[in-house]
Amino acid sequence: MDREKLLEEISVETPSKIILIVLDGLGGLPYKDGKTELECAKTPNLNALAKNSALGLTYPILQGITPGSGPAHLALFGYDPLKYTIGRGILENLGLGVEIERGDLAIRGNFCTLKDEVVVDRRAGRIPTDKCVELCRKLNENTGKIDGVDVLFTPGMEHRFALRLRGEGLSDKIKETDPQKVGERPVIPEALEKDGERTSQTLKKIMEMARDTLKDEERANFILLRGYSLHSPIPSMSKLFKLKPAAVATYPMYKGLAKLVGMDVLDVKGTEISDEVETLKQNYKHYDFFYFHVKKTDSYGEDGNFDKKVSIIEEFDRALPEILSLCFDVVVVTSDHSTPCLLKGHSWHPNPFLIYSKYVIADEQTEFSEKSCAKGILGHFYAKDAMSLMLASALKLKKFGA
Amino acid sequence: MDREKLLEEISVETPSKIILIVLDGLGGLPYKDGKTELECAKTPNLNALAKNSALGLTYPILQGITPGSGPAHLALFGYDPLKYTIGRGILENLGLGVEIERGDLAIRGNFCTLKDEVVVDRRAGRIPTDKCVELCRKLNENTGKIDGVDVLFTPGMEHRFALRLRGEGLSDKIKETDPQKVGERPVIPEALEKDGERTSQTLKKIMEMARDTLKDEERANFILLRGYSLHSPIPSMSKLFKLKPAAVATYPMYKGLAKLVGMDVLDVKGTEISDEVETLKQNYKHYDFFYFHVKKTDSYGEDGNFDKKVSIIEEFDRALPEILSLCFDVVVVTSDHSTPCLLKGHSWHPNPFLIYSKYVIADEQTEFSEKSCAKGILGHFYAKDAMSLMLASALKLKKFGA
């Protein structure tokens, strides 16, 4: 019996409530006076919570593996991130706020410059984002619906866009059109398998229309497509874990990820942590699982901005008492992955993890940090196993076997 | 190569001796002055042993999963509890002391009350156990052997019984007859697969005979059957690990589980820990692996009787020196699962685990508790991996690869 089937079999609906707080990219490395971001931040409320909680460290995927946001979040939501892989095209669309449904074909795209039929600039001279917005609008006007397939271009930064095809019988078994180097012709999107022939025809038509629409552009006169991902749905959290889950997040990518696993995505009026807390309070009654996402810890980590990352952690710490005052049965504070300022990017270091419930042996550590978590009673474990621990601690799992 | 095949390949018979001491349901949660059962118990002998042992915590199944005794014990015996699942009917029979062999069909049953052909009470008004004993005896007299199949009813508590069918070609692919609600007719035990047709016929005859035998009963005038389990044998410990294993246990369920993996079950004259120690001493010479089971830690945990659970731990502690005086090469003290008095039931919390041998790095912890084990040199690991650690520590495993 596999883990997923086991959880589906033993999970039960109960009134108890869980909150999973994800401080994105929280974990760090020694940077300032040999201290990490979390060690430098003044976090009296997190420390007080830690004293009554069980601590540990989680591997997002496997020892040494640095995850993107997609797999790292899937793991936290209780899914094996090596079983459910989310295609690049899907993440690109989700990140731009595009809804993805079962059977959608999601694609990453670039504007490029063609000359004498060969690609001379794969990024079309990094056109300004405004220009990208204008060209996507034109492409949407001129393509619209082809062969019964809805076509949606969504502008990203500079030369980047996301493309979503929605229709019956789409396939992702198609050649990518990006030749990956200059001086070559764009690849024709031929089908790689018989199933892909209809989709191949549709993509060829889209490329023709794009060529026609963009023919007068100096730089962005063609498009290149890659990262085809056909969305095969993930079993929902309500099916697997009997939860009624909701997401409190402000960035499109995370809202999109939450939708993929069947969460309701709640409206947040603003982008501050306090706005998210307000949303949480208003919706507390209606759900039994909340995913609460704080983005800026990661953003400042990526920037290598140590002081700002510290200040966001402190801002969250000030908001924590209001969250705790709602009286969740289970509170988890953790991260999807580490983003040390030292690396200016995601890293493989395990995540600090704290779980509070009536049914933990509290570690009585006086602070919440990478090091105190390493000494915690939970030890090191895989992020994908956090869900069963949360469910158990909320008494939402029956016994396995007799 | 899978783990099981690996162990079978590298295990060797040696004169060294292992004892696996299972204090059932040992682990707890803070309860009295913030302390667990194990923290409150005065255990000078366990603490002294802990000082010279390596400590750790084991997950019975997976993080957050609360196991029944069956899967929890299989894991301790070295078997993947998600690979070898023991059906409910088998556990019910084992728990009542019924022997189960390869090919037996084991079933759980209830007496019920039928009126106008529909079930009006699924539990026959919870008839007294004495009545259950009497009715099972009658059923055994009247059924006996049907179609060459031996039929054995064994009374449980109140309205419950276990049924074992022994014969050629039995199947468990049969509809359960319990409709699960009142006001409905008992389900006819039709075959769910072609293989099940002969067994279906036999069960139909058993039900007819039961109806006839019970027709004058006021309440218990029919039977309902569920939890069909066909026993497919588990490779024995002697095959996989080259051990000559014996069980010292007083409760039928645990004796039964030990038999399932090929242990000899030793006679214990009485139900006290001291009786078990006596059995151990008498049989020390004849085996190289002993499973030593103490049940009452779990029973008092289930009752929520903190003081009694503490006192059983202390009783075991007093018996420990006599066990150690036998000079086992490897001594493990652990549990199958936790049974915190706070929860009055099994829980998902990992088990304290202690291993003593000449070949461990001792933790030099001054006590044996959940927290000291959390800090132990063994860290957190899966209970199913305890067997390879025991075998290795007894120098019973050859090198893998060259």
Q: What is the pLDDT of residues A27-37, one digit of tens each?
A: 999 998 999 99
Is residue B152 a contact partner of residue B231, using CB atoms and an 8 Å limit? no
pLDDT at A245 over 90: yes
Distance from CA of B370 to the nearest CA of A (A): 8
pLDDT at A364 over 90: no
Residues of chain B positioned with their CB less than 8 A from the CB of A382? 63
Task: Provide, as residue numbers in chain A, all residues whose Cβ is less than 8 Å from the Cβ of B349.
Answer: 359, 361
Is residue B191 pLDDT above 90, yes or no? Answer: yes
Cβ contact A402–B88 (<8 Å) = yes
pLDDT in tens, A315-346: 999 999 999 999 999 999 999 999 999 999 99
pLDDT, tens digit, 9 for 90 and up, residues B324-378 = 999 999 999 999 999 999 999 999 999 999 999 999 999 989 999 999 999 999 9
- The answer to whether the Cβ–Cβ distance between A402 and B30 falls below 8 Å is no
Chain B CB contacts of A6 below 8 Å: 62, 65, 82
A357: nearest CA partner in chain B: B29
Residues of B in contact with A359 (CB under 8 A): 29, 340, 342-343, 347, 349
Q: What is the pLDDT of residues B26-38, one digit of tens each?
A: 999 999 899 999 9
What are the backbone angles phi and psi of residue B331, rounded to the nearest 5°?
-120, 125
Query: For chain A, what is the mean pLDDT?
Result: 96
Torsion from C-alpha of B44, B45, B47, B51, nearest 10 degrees: 130
Please indicate whether, in this complex, the C-beta atoms of A402 and B61 are within 8 angstroms of each other. Answer: no
| Residues of B with Cβ-Cβ distance to A387 under 8 angstroms | 64
CB contact under 8 A, B57 and A379: yes
Helices B306-324 & B44-51, crossing angle to 10 degrees? 60
| Residue in B closest to A402 by C-alpha | B68
Per-residue pLDDT, averaged over A182-190, amounts to: 95
Distance from CA of A115 to the nearest CA of B (A): 55
Q: Can you give the pTM of this predicted structure? A: 0.91
Do residue B71 and residue A387 have CB atoms under 8 angstroms apart? no
pLDDT band at A234 (very low <50, low <70, confident <90, very high): very high
How high is the pLDDT of residue B172?
94
CA-based nearest distance A380→chain B, Å: 7
> Is a pLDDT exceeding 90 seen at residue B178?
yes
The answer to whether B1 contacts chain A (CB < 8 Å) is: no
Asked if B344 is an interface residue toward chain A (Cβ–Cβ < 8 A), one would say no
Give me the residue from B67, B81, B375 closest to A399, CB to CB. Answer: B67
Q: Determine the residue of chain A that is closest to B91 in CA distance.
A: A402
Question: How far lies A347's CA from each of A148, A338, A374, B256, in Å?
Answer: 43, 5, 17, 49
Residue B201 at interface with chain A, using a CB cutoff of 8 Å: no
Whether A219 has its CB under 8 Å from any CB of chain B: the answer is no
If pLDDT is split at 50, 70 and 90, which confidence band does A288 have?
Answer: very high
Could you tell me the two tokens for A98? 């595009």
A32 touches chain B (CB under 8 A): no
Of B63, B67, B70, the CB nearest to A385: B63
Min Cα distance B95 → chain A (Å) is: 10
Residues of B in contact with A10 (CB under 8 A): 65
Does residue B293 belong to the interface with chain A, where contact is any CB pair within 8 Å?
Answer: no
The pLDDT value recorded for residue B55 is: 98
Q: Do B69 and A379 touch (CB under 8 A)?
A: no
pLDDT at position A232 over 90 = no
pLDDT at B129 over 90: yes
> What pLDDT does B232 receive?
86
- The answer, for A379 touching chain B at a CB cutoff of 8 Å, is yes
Residue range B59-83: mean pLDDT, rounded: 97
Q: Check whether A352 has a pLDDT greater than 90.
A: yes
The CA distance from A52 to the nearest CA of chain B, in Å, is 11
B29 to chain A, closest Cα gap in Å: 6
Cβ–Cβ of A399/B68 closer than 8 Å? yes
Q: What is the ipTM of this complex?
A: 0.90
Could you tell me the pLDDT band of residue B144, with boundaries at 50, 70 and 90? confident
Nearest to A237, CA basis, from A260, A214, A219, A217:
A260
Residues A258, A262, A265, CA angle at the centre, nearest 5°? 50
pLDDT tens track for B265-313: 999 999 999 999 999 999 999 999 999 999 999 999 999 999 999 999 9
Find the helix or strand (DSSP H, E) in which A50 lies. Answer: helix A44-51
Residue A303: which pLDDT band, with cuts at 50, 70 and 90? very high
The C-alpha atoms of residue B311 and residue B319 are separated, in whole angstroms, by 13
Interface check for A10 against chain B (CB to CB < 8 A): the answer is yes
Dump pLDDT digits (tens) for B105-127. Answer: 999 999 999 999 999 999 999 99
The alpha-carbon gap from B365 to the nearest alpha carbon of chain A, in Å, equals 15
Residues of chain B found within 8 Å of residue A399, distances taken between Cβ atoms: 66-68, 345-346
> Is the pLDDT assigned to residue A65 strictly greater than 90?
yes
Kindly list the domain boundaries of chain A, sorted by start residue.
Answer: 3-83+235-393, 91-230
> CATH homologous superfamily for B3-83+235-393?
Alkaline Phosphatase, subunit A (3.40.720.10)
Residue among A181, A72, A76, A164 nearest A121 (CA): A181
Residues of A in contact with B70 (CB under 8 A): 401-402
For residue B402, the model assigns a pLDDT of: 86
On whether any CB of chain A is under 8 Å from the CB of B347, the answer is: yes
Sort out which chain B residues have CB atoms less than 8 A from A392's CB and list them. Answer: 64-66, 347-348
A399 CB near a chain B CB, below 8 Å? yes
Contacts of A388 in chain B (CB under 8 A): 62-65, 348
Largest CA distance in chain B: 73
Kindly list the distances between the CA atom of residue B21 and the CA atoms of B41, B73, B254, in Å, as whole numbers in the listed order.
18, 12, 13
Identify the sign of the CA torsion A237, A238, A239, A241. positive
A320 touches chain B (CB under 8 A): no
Distance from CA of A382 to the nearest CA of B (A): 9
- A3 and B62: CB-CB below 8 Å? yes
* Alpha-helix runs per DSSP H in B11-128: 37-40, 44-51, 69-76, 88-95
- Contact at CB, A400 and B67, closer than 8 angstroms: yes
Give strand ranges (E) for B156-283.
160-166, 222-230, 245-248, 264-265
| Residue of B39, B66, B257 to mutate, testing the A interface (most A Cβ within 10 Å of its Cβ) | B66
Q: What is the CATH code of the structural domain delimited by B91-230?
A: 3.30.70
- Report which of residues A30 and A147 the model is more confident about: A30
- Dig out the tokens for A391 from the structure: 């469910």
Between A396 and B86, residue with greater pLDDT: A396
- The encoded tokens of residue A255 equal 């809202």
For the segment A197-205, the average pLDDT, to the nearest whole number, is 96
d(CA A214, CA A210): 6
C-alpha distance from B87 to closest chain A C-alpha (Å): 8
Question: Residues of B with CB below 8 A from A53's CB?
Answer: none
What order of strands is seen across the sheet that includes strand B245-248?
A: B264-265, B245-248, B289-294, B18-23, B330-334, B351-356, B54-59, B380-382
Residues of chain B numbered 84-103 and touching chain A (CB < 8 Å): 85-86, 88, 91-92
Closest Cα in chain A to B340: A359
- Tell me the HSE value of B175 on the side-chain side, using a 13 A CA sphere: 13
- Of the pLDDT bands very low, low, confident and very high (cuts 50, 70, 90), residue B230 is very high
Q: Are strands A289-294 and A18-23 parallel, antiparallel or unpaired?
A: parallel
Select the residue of B65, B91, B340 nearest A397 (Cβ to Cβ). Answer: B65
Mean pLDDT over each residue of chain B, to the nearest integer: 96
Is residue B335 within 8 Å of B48, Cβ to Cβ? no
